[in-house]
Structure 1
């Protein structure tokens, strides 16, 4: 009896150690999280396609644009508060609640569309609700990877997350289009709701790793927690400068690959199919970068690699405006995707490994605000600048902003010397 007990006692730590050494792509916890994230990303893609189709079909283009823009307002205004909530309540609980709300809202809209023909105000209300939920979801989902994987696996997890995001983008739009074609917008919204529902059992099955700082910074008010998180970020030798890098790189990238790409394709005579080929090239490159990080356990000199790939990728962005042939433009976009995807994933991995776990929700909220809240503000500026000065100068300025982010990364010693855990 004593021998059996001793053997069992000795075996248990060995099993735990073996599980801790398990690579991310073989870890059941990581795979559950990845499956839930993939289902949620697919649901997002189907939802946005169905929303845009329904809005355009129900009103004028200006009204449809207003409906689609409504979701961005609460997301930008409430994102920092979402980070506070993620740190207070825990990211798993918040992600489960967010996907549950999205599931119920979208299924409710699907039922409404099956029974009646509601006005645009219903779509506007749903868009606003999604914006509020996104403000809670995005910081929480960004804070989850360190709770399901070891620190030395986080770059691999970021690669897997990138692959999942690309899969959702590539498959979500055709799936939504097929659902609209077969059963109308109501069917598409129902499909999106079911995808959100699919993520819930996977998330509930997650067992989060306890973190040393878990449970701290929850005694004050929410406003005090937010101020505390911003002070922590400002005083951190790596994370503070990294937020500047995120903001600059996304400001330089967002305009050319949204507004600018449409104008470029029109001027070159490439048409909508040309845009598709260029975006396909970019997606292929970004997917290759994610696959590289998934396969590689660790990228040495991660900070320096991120800075250099960001700088070279900026040159590729500028080259797009001076490309006359579509195959060359698609190949250039592939290079942008590969370089920008690699630098972005390494930035995310460094943020998650360097951040105190008690502040990760708030730090992720600031990063998401820079990329998803502030960067889209460059869209109208890009369009107005192209009308005044043309495509070439605007792409050159945007590429310079991206290059500034890369040069800044290399100039700040804390970023240039940053390493991922061994």
Structure 2
């Protein structure tokens, strides 16, 4: 497939704001449709697995996609850099769409049991291993560097919208037409992204900087990418800060929050209000970055907001009532959301575009491969010592990410262009 290259801008031409750039808006539309399809797919997969097997079997089906995704993610970064993120995202969404619609068709005519659901989960996990690094690398190819922070905010808003709208749509699909109809809806939404992605104009790195330009092997490309990250004065500490932040954040805000709500007697509705507070705060952070486009002293601000967000997260286990917990969760969402969007924008702007797929793969591996390990550990620790000590220790681990961001001079002084 031929890639359309964006024309080179004049040296002093003003940048077009991302929220007024049709190229960026097409990407946001494609990303939103794809993420909504993902949300409906996961809901449909869980429901179909529960209907076809035992709860334990359903849990295995929904978790099986994590294995190929984790194992193949670094290789996916190499593929994204070798073939270009636009081409990889188009191929990934095409495969995911075809796989979901194939299972939907099978469910319309028969009840085949768990095996097609397991196969679908494996396909999704494998494709995600190349899809996620390519998604992370694509924004730098479709807009100017000074607009990347705004694009991160727009991406955050798209994710929030997909999370809010996807689950009810999936539930409606299951209610009206069963799991086959819900899978069909998921596949059609993913299909919407493909023509939008095909229409994108992208910038390509110089041929002598592209992976594989010197007939290198994929293994050498991977080693070069890891060496590039390790030697970079901003990216290496930034990824370490992201790892610490996610490691301390994921456990308490997932399984820990459920146990906290049960301990305090808030019930499922109370937990829902706390999650709504968190989601609202994160949406406000995305909106701020979308409107402002650039925040000064990005590295320092990311470190400060991580520290403040960690304190708010630790306070969740000590607040006196549900209303205070919702307020604390709103602060957690706002502060950690802002730090996360700034970290994403710094990853985009500090990386050489030819390495962005591999940089995104390493960052995704940290978030999806390492951080989830804290969930069973948090659950076991809460069972042994209670919520307050675990939330406090987790907040301290998360705060270490902010300490790294403020301690390392090059990261602390990092700025966003514009």
Confirm whether residue 247 of structure 1 aligns to residue 243 of structure 2.
yes
Query: 1:213, CA displacement in angstroms?
Result: 6.5
Per-residue deviation, residues 346-366 of structure 1 (Å, max 9, x unmatched):
001011101011111000000
SS class of match (2:29) = helix
- SS at 1:255 equivalent: helix
- Give the deviation of 1:297 after TM superposition: 2.5
Change beyond 3 A, Cα 1:31–1:214: farther
Cα shift at 1:269? 1.1
SS of structure 1 residue aligned to 2:111:
coil
Cα offset, 1:216, TM superposition: 2.2
**Residue 305 (1) aligns with residue 305 (2):** no
Q: Conserved in 2, the CA contact under 8 Å of 1:154 and 1:353? A: yes
CA distance in 1, matches of 2:202, 2:208: 11
Residue 245 of structure 1 and its aligned partner are, at CA, apart by 0.7
- Cα drift, residue 408 of structure 1: 1.1
> How far off is 1:17 after superposition?
7.8
Q: CA deviation at 1:217?
A: 2.6
> Which structure has the greater CA radius of gyration?
1
Structure 2 CA distance, aligned partners of 1:133 and 1:214? 28
Q: How does 1:280-319 map to 2 (within 5 A)?
A: 280-319=276-315
Q: Give unmatched runs, 5+ long, in structure 1.
A: 1-12
> 3-state SS of the aligned residue for 1:184?
helix
Q: How does 1:6-405 map to 2 (within 5 A)?
A: 21-212=15-206, 215-218=209-212, 219-405=215-401
* Structure 1 residue aligned with 2:4: none
In structure 2, which of residues 388, 398, 409 is the aligned counterpart of residue 413 of structure 1?
A: 409
Distance 1:141 1:401 in 2: 28
**In structure 2, distance between residues paired with 1:217 and 1:297:** 31
- Cα deviation code 1:45-65 (max 9, x no counterpart): 000000111111211111111
Q: Aligned Cα RMSD in Å?
A: 1.5
Distance 1:97 1:215, change over 3 A: farther
**Distance change >3 Å, CA 176–CA 271, structure 1 → 2:** same
Question: In the TM superposition, what is the alpha-carbon distance from 1:324 to its structure 2 partner?
Answer: 3.3
How many residues in Structure 1 have an aligned counterpart in Structure 2? Answer: 410
> In 2, distance between residues paired with 1:20 and 1:209?
17
Q: 1:188 to 1:20 in 2, by over 3 A?
A: farther
Task: Calculate the TM-score normalised by the size of structure 1.
Answer: 0.95
Give the CA deviation at 1:202.
Answer: 0.2
Question: Bigger shift: 50-59 or 205-214?
Answer: 205-214
Counterpart CA distance in 2 for 1:333 and 1:212 is: 45
1:297, 1:316 → 2: CA distance? Answer: 26
Structure 2 residue runs of 5 or longer lacking an equivalent are 1-6
Using the alignment, how far apart are the partners of 1:118 and 1:163 within structure 2? 38
Deviation at 1:377, TM superposition (A): 1.2
Q: C-alpha displacement at 1:20, in angstroms?
A: 5.6
Moved over 6 A (4+): 13-19
